[in-house]
């Protein structure tokens, strides 16, 4: 979302990319920014605003996230690491609190329920993130765990069952799709998620109210965390994260 990316883009003084970055069709909604930080070339990509349904709101969810990620990887040609930075819901049963920064260890889906052998596993779609034990040592206040993904802000009882089965610490609407896009190419692109908690999934407040209440605070927390993460990963081998 724009509200998640904007503070970070401004903090790093990144330059907007021309719409041609995404291809010949200028109607694609995706937005990009680029610049240098700690000796690394940093590209920030977001899914932009909706022009299909006439709402003008942020494009959210797995479809736009997967397409945006794949196009960015294809355009950039050489990508050392994809950092999926954004907000999330957290589970108090996993020790999550508002404003916590989570380093994701893997992803799964909780709303692709297909009760057919083989398709059940495909629907859950578990993928591992790159291991980052040294990052967690350097920043001991960061927490870690699996991110479970679905296309709805709220959840059903069936979602609850799958999120528990996925051993999820946090919940979002894009991570599993972005990780899937990273895994498509013959040379898989390393994936790591950095998520900040806006709401407590297994809490007692309505999700949409808690999310909107804490979005600004979480975006600022993300702005503070991401430069720390970039400082750590820049110049390191993936095996040394």
**Max alpha carbon distance in the chain (Å)?**
49
Closest CA to 31 of 15, 14, 47, 43: 47
158 belongs to the catalytic site = no
Contact 87, 218 (CB under 8 A): yes
Q: How far is CA 46 from CA 31, 73, 100, 195, 204, in A?
A: 5, 13, 22, 15, 31
Q: Which of 4, 58, 111, 174 is catalytic?
A: 4
Look-up of token digits 């709220």: 154
Sign of torsion, CA 127 113 45 232? negative
Residue 116 token pair: 């057919």
Helix, coil or strand: residue 148: strand
Task: Identify the active-site residue in 111, 199, 220, 237.
Answer: 199
Give the pair of three-digit tokens for residue 103: 């380093």
- Would you say 101 and 142 are in contact if contact means Cβ atoms under 8 Å apart? yes
Active site residue 4: yes
Cα 6 from Cα 11, distance rounded (Å): 9
Rounded to the nearest 10 degrees, the angle between the axes of helix 2-11 and helix 207-233 is: 30
**Catalytic residue positions, numbered:** 4, 199
């Amino acid at each position: 979302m724009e509200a998640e990316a904007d503070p970070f883009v401004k903090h790093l003084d990144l330059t907007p990319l021309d719409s041609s970055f995404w291809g010949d069709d200028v109607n694609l909604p995706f937005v990009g920014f680029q610049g240098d930080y700690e000796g690394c070339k940093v590209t920030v990509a977001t899914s932009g605003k909706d022009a299909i349904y006439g709402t003008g709101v942020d494009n959210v969810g797995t479809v736009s996230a997967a397409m945006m990620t794949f196009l960015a990887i294809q355009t950039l040609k050489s990508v050392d690491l994809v950092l999926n930075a954004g907000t999330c819901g957290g589970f108090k049963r996993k020790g999550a609190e508002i404003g916590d920064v989570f380093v994701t260890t893997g992803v799964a889906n909780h709303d692709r329920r297909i009760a057919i052998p083989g398709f059940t596993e495909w629907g859950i779609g578990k993928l591992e993130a790159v291991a980052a034990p040294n990052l967690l040592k350097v920043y001991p206040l960061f927490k870690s765990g699996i991110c479970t993904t679905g296309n709805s802000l709220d959840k059903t009882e069936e979602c609850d069952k799958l999120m528990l089965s996925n051993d999820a610490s946090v919940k979002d609407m894009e991570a599993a799709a972005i990780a899937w896009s990273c895994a498509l190419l013959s040379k898989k692109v390393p994936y790591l998620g950095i998520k900040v908690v806006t709401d407590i999934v297994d809490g007692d407040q309505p999700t949409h109210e808690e999310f909107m209440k804490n979005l600004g605070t979480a975006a600022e927390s993300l702005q503070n965390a991401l430069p720390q993460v970039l400082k750590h990963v820049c110049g390191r081998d993936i095996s040394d994260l």
